[in-house]
Amino acid sequence: MIRRKDRNLHVVREQEDPTDRIVREILEELNSENDLQRDADGSGRKRRRTPGWKLRLGLILLAAASIGVYLLVNLQTYSRVRITETYENEGAANNNYKEFGGGILKYSRDGISYFNQNGKEQWNHSYQIKSPFIELEQESGVVADKGGNDIFVIQKDGIKGEIHTAMPIEKVSVSKQGIVGAILKNDSSAEVICYDIKGNILVEHKTSSAGTGYPMDVSLSGNGEVMQVLYFYTQDGKITSRVMYYNFGEAGEKETDNQVSGQEYENTVMATGFFMNQDTSAAVGDNCLVIYKGGEIPQESVRVNIDKKIRSVFHSERYIGLILKNEGKEGYELRLYNADGKLVISKDFTGDYSNVKICGRQVIMYDGKECCIFLRNGIQKFDGEMDHNIMEIFPIMGVNKYIVMSTDGMEKIRLVK
């Protein structure tokens, strides 16, 4: 079903920001030193090339200016924002938003739509679900009904498939191609099922508390061939977690239930698992972070002990992030690990942020109007608030430019002092 497009879109633009103008003028002036000089009569004939020393000087000045602009922009903390463009639409307060494929997904209980960075709707699809939640990968995503039975597979150009489950949905994961893994449960049992993009069952794995344990999380590799499942069980009063891998390709054909590897962790509750790329995956428990290597048969590579209470877990293709509660002092600690388990950031901060994400080389945290941004090098880029409650935020091309989704619609902003 196609929903009627919003017709009250209103765009407000501001004149070119002084920072952009200064950067543009410096670069234009320096680049002009390297152009071919022309005759004074305007004939356009080549007269002579810039001498070598002048070319070298121009390149040095260009490099120096670039470094200066970079340091000017990044070696300071901004506290305010300037709105440069506004895209207003009705009903924004009833929607949720997620960055996806360079644009924005808008979803609610009534449907989902996709907008480009200029606020223009690309497609929309209507449905009726009670508790929508969304999981996204680079090229595919799913919006599902928590506790319901409907899953919709999405890509940048629209809805690609609809899945109806026989049991209520607990967790979902999606591969780049749109293969879906789901944990389904009712009052007496739980299952882990994989579907293709059209809803056909590829794998059905029943679980039991006396056997594998209760499934806590499911994740799929990019090609959809390897599945990670985290299980939890108790035995003789002891808490144990299992991290199991199933390969549905050649490597797992001769294995029981396609299981190719597994590891147990005593006195640990493994609750979050994910693939960073085809060859690297991870699981995060209440007291450790474990990284696994191997595209077909993942094996534990690095185990990092965590000595603080974990509040948030987030990741990208390159980094794993944790927000930890400080003990004995105020606030929280931001930790960022690379795919080899090496600590690359450890920064303390104050403020409670319910939303945390990695965008490229930035860690963005927000809650209500409050927002905090750290760079990969540990510099705090922003600490302040927006004009409206933030529902999604992500960087775009330009100096200190971001898109912010709020209850008033979409805004393009710039961080300023």
Per-residue pLDDT tens over the stretch 252-290: 888 888 999 999 999 999 999 999 999 999 999 999 999
8 A C-beta contact, residue 103 and residue 117: yes
Interacting residues of 210 by C-beta distance below 8 A, sequence separation 6+: none
Give the per-residue pLDDT at 368.
95
Q: CA–CA separation, 343 vs 62, rounded Å?
A: 34
Per-residue pLDDT tens over the stretch 339-354: 999 999 999 999 999 9
Model confidence at 8, pLDDT cuts 50, 70, 90, reads very low
Model confidence at 102, pLDDT cuts 50, 70, 90, reads very high
Give the per-residue pLDDT at 211.
76
Average pLDDT estimate for 133-138: 92
Average pLDDT estimate for 123-144: 95
Residue 68 backbone dihedrals phi, psi, to 5 degrees: -60, -45
Helix (H) or strand (E) holding 22: helix 18-32
- How is residue 287 written in tokens? 């007291």
Q: What is the 3-state secondary structure (H, E, C) of 100-148?
A: ECCEEEEECCCEEEEECCCCCEEEEEECCCCCEEEEECCCEEEEEEECC
Least confident window among 109-113, 151-155, 209-213: 209-213
Per-residue pLDDT tens over the stretch 13-50: 555 555 555 555 555 554 554 454 444 444 444 445 55
Confidence check: pLDDT of 247 > 60:
yes
Which class for 285: exposed (0-12), middle (13-18), buried (19 or more C-beta within 10 A)?
buried
In sequence order, the β-bridge partners of residue 133 are 144
Share of the chain above pLDDT 90, in %: 68
- How is residue 64 written in tokens? 């120096």
